[in-house]
Structure 1
C-alpha cells in the first residue's frame, strides 16, 4: 500500500515490529474485571463414565425404623496399568424412611461434590465420625459405639476407603496380639467364680456367656476411647482395652 507524503521530510526514526506492541496495548481501553475467588483444582477434571463400580452397605440403626442403604461408586483411574487405582466418585443413600429426606439428599450431594473435586478426601471420615447426636448414640452389632447415624455413615465410608486401598489401617504386631491375649486370659481367670464341685460343659458355657457382653468381652468392660468398643477393663490398677491394646498408663 503506497502512502503519499505531502510535506517535506526533516528527519526519520526506524520503528521495529516489537516496538509497535506496547503502543498498541497502551492505546487499547482497559476493562475493569470484577474480583473473583480463586478456585484451586486439587485433581484432574474427570467426566462421569457411563459405568462405575461400587459397593452398597446396609446400616441398621435403632434410631431409624427402616435401614439405610449407602452406595459408594468409584471411578477407576489408569485402568489396565500398574498404577490402576479406584477413587470414590459419588455417594447415594436410600431408605424407606422419608423423615430425614432433606438432610440425606444434602449430605449425598455435598459428599459427591467433594469426591469429584479430588485431592485427599479421607478427611471426610473423621469429620463425619465426630458428629454427635444430642439424644445420645447407640451400640451397633459387635459392641462398637456410634455417636450418631452420621457417624456410622462416616464409618461406612472409612470401611469402603480401606477396601479400595485409600486408607491403610496399621496392623497390630504379633507381640501386641500376644500381650492382649495374655491380659484377657488373666482377667477372665481372676473374674471367674471358683466352683467347689466340677460342672458340666453346658453349665460352663452358660457361665461363660453370662460373663461376656455382646462383643465377646467381659461383661463389666466399659467403652474404649480409642476403638469405641466395650472392651476396657481394670487390670493391675490401670484401664486396659482388650480389643486394641490401649492403656491409660501407656
Structure 2
C-alpha cells in the first residue's frame, strides 16, 4: 500500500520487535509471593548476647545434696522462649543461679554463675559446658551420688544438673537410641534372671551390689556377663 509523504524527512529510526514480557499486572503478584517468606526468615530471633531479658522467664530448680556439706545446693536455671507460637519456637537457657546456706564457696559460686550465664546468653552450641564442668576433679576425691553415679567434684555435679536441664528442654538428645535402650533392658533382664533376686535389687539405682564403676557413664553398673564386662546403665561392653 502506497503512503504519501507530505513533509520533508529530517530523521529516521529502525523499529525492533519487542520481546514478550510478563504482564505488568502479574509481576507484583510474583513479588508478593516471595516477600512474605523472606520477611518470616528475617524475623526469626536467634539467641545472642544483646537479647533483652523478658520480665518473666520459665525455670527449674535442682536440689544437690552432697556428702561434702550438710547443706544442700539449689541450682536454678531460667530459660527464654524464642519465637513463641511459631514453628521456629525454641527454649534456651538464659541464666543460672546457685544458692545454699553454706557460704564457704560463695565467691567461686558467684563467679561460676556469672560466667555460665554469660555463655548461655552468647548463643550458639552451649552444650560443651556440661563436659567442661564434669571434667573438674576435687583433689580430696569425689563421691557417689544416689543411683551409684560417681561425681568427681561439686562442680561436676553442677554440670550434671545443667545436663539434666538441657535434656529436659531438648537441647541435648538422649545418648541411647530406641534400639540401644532395648538392648540395655534385655541385658538387665538377662542378668537378673541369672542372678539371685536378693542381690540384684538395690536401693540406689537397682544395680547389683557387686557392680563396678563404668568408665563411660561413671555409674556403678558394670557386671560380668558371658565372661565380658557389660554396663547395665549405658550398654557399654568390652566385647563390643
- Scaled by the length of structure 1, the TM-score of the pair is 0.71
What's the counterpart of residue 33 of structure 2?
none
Q: Is the 8 A contact 2:176 2:234 kept in 1?
A: no
Q: 1:95 — aligned with what?
A: 100
The superposition leaves residues 143-181 of structure 1 with CA deviations (integer Å, 9 ceiling, x where unpaired) of 11111111110011111111111111144434x445444
Q: 2:156, 2:205 → 1: CA distance?
A: 20
Aligned to 2:237: 247
1:222 is matched with which residue?
A: 212
Q: How does 1:85-124 map to 2 (within 5 A)?
A: 85-124=90-129
- The 1:173–1:243 alpha-carbon spacing in structure 2 relative to 1, beyond 3 Å, is same
**1:16-35 correspondence to structure 2 within 5 Å:** none
Change (3 A) 1:185 1:113: closer
The two structures, once aligned, show a CA RMSD in angstroms of: 1.9
Structure 1 distance, partners of 2:151, 2:49, is 35
Aligned to 1:29: none
1:70 aligns with 2:71: no
Count of matched residue pairs: 193
Measure, in 2, the Cα distance between the counterparts of 1:248 and 1:228: 15
1:179 and 1:91 map into 2 onto residues whose CA distance is: 36
For residues 139 and 130 of structure 1, the distance between their equivalents in structure 2, rounded to whole angstroms, comes to 15
- Distance verdict in 2 for CA 1:219–1:128, change over 3 Å: same
Task: Determine the C-alpha separation between the residues in 2 that align with 1:110 and 1:126.
Answer: 15
Structure 2, unaligned runs of 5 or more? 1-46
Q: TM-score, normalised by structure 2?
A: 0.74
Aligned runs of 1:26-175 on 2, under 5 Å?
Answer: 43=48, 45-174=50-179
Q: What CA distance in whole angstroms lies between the structure 2 residues aligned with 1:72 and 1:183?
A: 36
4+ long deviations beyond 6 Å: none
Cα distance, 1:186 vs. partner? 4.3
Deviation for aligned residue 1:43? 3.3
Match of 1:18 in 2: none
> How far apart are 1:52 and its partner, in Å?
1.1
> Once the 2 structures are TM-superposed, how far is the Cα of residue 129 of structure 1 from its aligned partner?
0.8
Name the residue aligned to 1:32.
none
Q: Distance in 2 between matches of 1:178 and 1:165?
A: 21
Paired with 1:84 and 1:177, the residues of 2 have a C-alpha distance of 29
